[in-house]
Structure 1
Amino acid sequence: MPMYAFKGLSPSGKSVSGMKDADSPKTLRQLLRKDGVLVTSFELSKGGKAAKEQNRKKGGLSRDVDLGGLLGGVKKTEIAAFTRQMSTLLKSGIPLAEALGALVEQVTNIRFKTPLSEVRTNVNEGMSLADALAKHPKLFDELFVSMVRAGEIAGNLDEVLTRLADFLENAQKLKSKVQGAMIYPLVMVIVGAGIMAVLMIKVIPEITAMFTSQGKTLPWNTRLLIWSSSFLGKNILWITIGLIISIVLFLKWSRSKDGQPIWHRFVLGLPVLGQLVRTINVGRFARTLGTMLNAGVPMLRSLDTAKQIMGNVILQRAIDDAKKAVSEGESLAQTLKKSGQFPATMIHMVAVGERAGQLEQMLERVATTYEAEVDTKLGRFTALLEPLMLVFMGGAVSFIVFSILQPIMDLGQISGPK
């Protein structure tokens, strides 16, 4: 059923607008008339030449309402909830098209409602659910579409959607844990930098002015403090611009073809942070691969999709090598071991799973193990970062206080006769 964007007048004469499902423009007017709305203009929400031509013929709005470009506003939690609800409806024996219609009606986010309505229309016209979802890659990635396609072929779409909902929810929980652990250190850095900037630019020049007016030689640390304060106060704008440019150039380099491998290898080699990054990526890889294999997706395609989930190019290259070796008949465990990038525990568990013919279940256990380990390593990382930041801030404040108090304690000598 098409979805229309409409504008009209309410019984009180106020302008109203919104979205409405209707079989035809005539049905749209009838439905809105029941609600007391007089339609003044309308158009199909689906973009493209056909929609534009149909709008012109029906006297709709002259411009196309393309909500597709706003799909970034759809949260992963909404997609996970949709997947879970779809699975529940299908398990209850409700036909696919009817289940899609029920979910479209209850979705409130228009940025999600519009593409779901198009998916429902395509399914009603005979298209498979996987093909209909593949038309919206910003919402439904390759992993989602591949699993749905495998579920449709195997005839267990409801079970596949349940596994997919579990996967999306676990991925969101892991992401929330990482983001939550990094918020406190980031806030401390920003607040600490702001306090230091205010001290150096506003407070210190007023306090140290009395020292410079005495004409006596000041201690080296006090002279360094005065020079730093003066330099920062005079060049704060240029320092800020230089800092922004440096950050932009670094980000550009770290994402470039040549710079990304260097940076990612450096991160993996860091004592605590590197172990955390590796554990997060290993957990994601195992969870994705296990979920897709469980859904019946072929190994090579599952490896290719699982590789995209990993955020480190060094580990992605290791998966590429593993994919080539597996296609030639080698075991997954041996190829991962050769790369030297994956933990021995994971490799051993994968090897056991391959020998027992239970690779999917073993990968799920690997994912559960390493996701639990993320909590431990996140706690260890933040426990190490907090005292380091306090020591740094305390050292900076101590230097400032000592540099100011040292001449004050010797104030009589400074203000005496030359």
Structure 2
Amino acid sequence: MKPKFASYLLIAALAGLASWAAFRAGKGHGAVAAMFAAKPSAGTKASQREARERSTVRKVEVSEIRRFMGRNLEDATTEELLEAWELIRSFSKSQVKEGLEITGRAWDGANPNLLALMLYTRWSELDPEPAVKSAQGLPEEGAARTFGGVALWNWVKSDPEAAYLWTKKNEEFAKNCNHDTMIAAMLVTEPVGSALEKAKLLGDEVLRMTMSHFAGAAAGDEEKRAIFIAEAAKLPGEYKDMAVFQMHSDWALDDPEKALSSVEGAFDNEDLKKRAAETIVSAWAKRDPQQALAWLGANPPPNLIEQQASIWKRWVTEMPDSAQLWLSQQGDSPALAETIVRQIQSRQLNQTLGIGGKAARREKEALRQTYRLWAVAKPEQAKEWLKNADPQVVLTLTSSEP
């Protein structure tokens, strides 16, 4: 079970990661080390861990953990899980290790042993590096990733510099534990400017995830959009375009018309403008094909017919009556009919898994109808195309079966 980004965001919010707000973006040689070194310190990391351990340990017997071992914690209530965690979170390091001997295997069939997972969580709170290294050596399939992910997350929170340096020497394991996701989850608790500055230093994946979060967060708010665009302008070229592209795509989920009107001034590159507009229209058409087609008609791009055909051939398999009515209102356009026929054939040739059932029957009927429109308007051209068409398409066009 791989930890999900949303889970890390929740944990980050609950953990009160104020110390990360004090980081500054380093510059020049050793920038990452400079960034991490800027974290304020209240004594050595070892002394902090010792103090943390002393403050939380109470008089408990590790054997108390046995009373949870007969329960199915996979189906436990929140209260039952909290009861187990309240016990385990009071353990010292020596008690954690004793507890792991009592609970046994880290993995029960297809699932983690939740008591063992809690023990690793506690261990990594007290001394994360040994906990991570121990998890890395677990033999059970999935255990190293799951237990290592929990332990590494606590290490990232308590000592991000040390955790980062360790992951650079253990990149495959860190990737399996979603280390980049953890770092991004930490960064998005900061203001967008400082978060993106740091993300630039921490690799492509961290930058993409951080950027993606802020693009979505800014999409529905005019002030946030302006701030995000200003900060995105400081990113390297391809990332700047990627950030603005995604923000417009997310914005379009709520207000496609306004997002489309903004595209014109958002990109210097004409190809990017075209791609952004097509992406927004395509997503809009999946939710409301009639409105998307109406917008295209009022704002015709150079490839208007290709976009209309692409939207219509999907629409007709889902809402054939509405799609057929729209097509009839286009004046039986032979160019549109030809493009639809060609696109349906291309889809059938290039898609490994075809559509089935009612949608397949509707597509076949749409193919016949649009081919007839084309053949009436331009009979020689349509007849010539049919000679070289895919045999399955020919069979559909020449058969009366649904």
* TM-score, structure 2 normalization: 0.25
Pick the structure with greater CA Rg: 1
Structure holding more strand per residue: 1
* TM-score, structure 1 normalization: 0.24
Q: Which has the higher contact order (CA 8 A, sep 6+)?
A: 1
